[in-house]
Amino acid sequence: MRFILVRNLKGNEILAQTLFDGYGKILLPAGTKLNVPYVNRIRQSGFYYIYIKDEALDDIKYDRTIVNLKQRTVERLPSLFKNILNKDQKNIKESLYMVNELVSYIIKEGDINTNLYEINKYDNYTYVHCVDTGIMSIFLGRFLGLGVDDLSNLGTAAILHDIGKIQVPEKIINKIGVLEKSEFDEIKRHTIYGYNALKNAGIIEINTLAGVLEHHEKVNGTGYPLGLTGDKINIFAKIISVCDVFTALSANRSYRERFNPNEAYEFILSNINVAFDKDVVDKFKQNFSIYPLGVCVKLSNGIEGFVIKQNKFFPDRPIIRISYDHITKKKICPYELDLLTALDITINSIVG
Ligand SMILES: [Fe+2]
């Protein structure tokens, strides 16, 4: 199995995974031989990368459960939003069960190195962004030592963190160009609208509410709506804030190209003690791997190879399999290079 950026597909590859669209419907099943129309469909559906079959990397297996769980959550999220806005308490309880499914999975599998690419597979769909933020927050909460109930409340807050945006006029949300001060003030109010929507719908757990209300606060006090600093900001909000910014940066926006996960990762690190809490970012840094299994990377010594294993706590230093000579461009007997022991070598870029 090999990771490939969609823009590099040639149209003769074989799919190694079933692809679902942003609404949870099967787009193409695993084993499909690609052609140009299929590649166009994949591109139009917003995929940024996929996995294809590659005999030389046959030993790489990836757990797909989280992908399926994510699909199901994305599919069910619109009805949860609707139930909250309609204050339909009975159905809210049922819908929130999906958050518990995610929590159970993440508690069971949380020791694996979570891949930042896996979380950000699609371009930006509103609901996908909510679920991405939710999944990442639950992982991060677990790494920070939160228990089951807290993780469930954190997941709820993270999935619903932007629900207040529904109350902001669409013409402000979609405005291209500079916002007037009054328009920006209205956007900032989505935090308060969200807090009120949850409260009115009977979701009254204090950290869940604070997670939604404070997810745009910054530790240096320049955030909104309250301008809280450091320890005054709720821990759920601190976690959601990192995950929200990371997933938003990794998505395509009309006004800019998406960041690669490694660039978004650097952005998070550079905002420690400015926007983000140091302990939260430290856990983020220790536990999320940047380069996905099966991706081809170019190293600082000019050699290219495939990521075949992660090194826990060192997200930017995986183990690489090298199978051809980069000077003669000929295949060689494959060997493995552990970037944890070859400290003079770094990854320069994804070849994908
Ligand atoms: Fe927000």
Question: What is the tens place of the pLDDT at every residue in 122-161?
Answer: 444 578 888 889 989 999 999 999 999 999 999 999 999 9
Q: Find the 160 Cα to ligand 1 centroid distance in Å.
A: 10
Among 210, 206, 173, 176, which Cα is nearest to 191's? 210
Cα 163 to ligand 1 centroid, rounded to whole Å: 8
| 188 Cα–ligand 1 center, Å | 8
Amino acid 258: pLDDT:
60
> 211 phi and psi, to 5 degrees?
-60, -40
Q: How confident is the model at residue 302 (pLDDT cuts 50, 70, 90)?
A: confident
Give the pLDDT confidence score for residue 201 in this predicted structure.
93
For residues 304 and 66, what is the distance between their CA atoms, to the nearest angstrom? 29
Task: Check if the beta carbon of residue 205 is closer than 8 Å to that of residue 99.
Answer: no
3-class secondary-structure state, position 283? helix
Q: Which DSSP string do the residues of 70-126 spell out, in sequence order?
A: HHHHHHHHHHHHHHHHTT-HHHHHHHTHHHHHHHHHHHHHTTS-EEHHHHT-BS--H
- 216 Cα–ligand 1 center, Å: 6
Q: What separation in Å is there between the alpha carbon of 31 and the centre of ligand 1? A: 39
292-296 average pLDDT score:
82
CA–centroid distance, 200 to ligand 1, in Å, is: 19
Q: 41-90 pLDDT, tens per residue?
A: 888 877 777 889 888 777 776 666 677 777 778 878 888 888 998 998 88
Confidence of residue 103 (pLDDT cuts 50, 70, 90): confident
Q: Among 239, 224, 228, 326, which residue's Cα sits nearest to residue 277?
A: 239
The Å distance, Cα 215 to ligand 1 centre, comes to 7
Give distance in angstroms: CA of 162 to centre of ligand 1: 5
Peptide bond into 318 cis (omega under 30): no
Which tokens in the block code for residue 77?
């999220």
162 Rama sector, left if φ>0, alpha if ψ -120 to 50, beta otherwise = alpha
DSSP state of 32: P
Helix or strand holding residue 331 (H, E):
strand 331-338
The pLDDT-based confidence of 116 (bands split at 50, 70, 90) is: low
* pLDDT, tens digit, 9 for 90 and up, residues 204-243: 999 999 999 999 999 999 999 999 999 999 999 999 999 9
Mean pLDDT of the chain: 85
- What's the gap in Å between 105 CA and the centre of ligand 1? 26
State the distance from the centre of ligand 1 to the C-alpha of 124, rounded, in angstroms: 14
| Residue 16 to residues 32, 60, 62, 81, Cα–Cα distance (Å) | 8, 11, 10, 33
Does an H or E element contain 262, and which?
A: helix 261-270
Cα(190) to centroid of ligand 1, in Å? 7
pLDDT at 252 over 80: no
Distance 341 CA to ligand 1 centre (A): 41
Q: How far is the CA of 253 from the centre of ligand 1 (A)?
A: 15
Please return the burial class of 216, using the count of CB atoms within 10 Å of its CB with bins 0-12, 13-18 and 19+. buried
Q: Which two tokens stand for residue 100?
A: 């518990």
Mapping DSSP to helix (H, G, I), strand (E, B) and coil, where does residue 296 land? strand
Q: How far is the CA of 161 from the centre of ligand 1 (A)?
A: 6
The token duo for 258 is 């998406």
Average pLDDT estimate for 83-111: 83
| Ligand 1 centroid distance, CA of 351 (Å) | 33
> Which three-class secondary structure state does DSSP give residue 307?
strand
Mean pLDDT over 109-122 rounds to 56
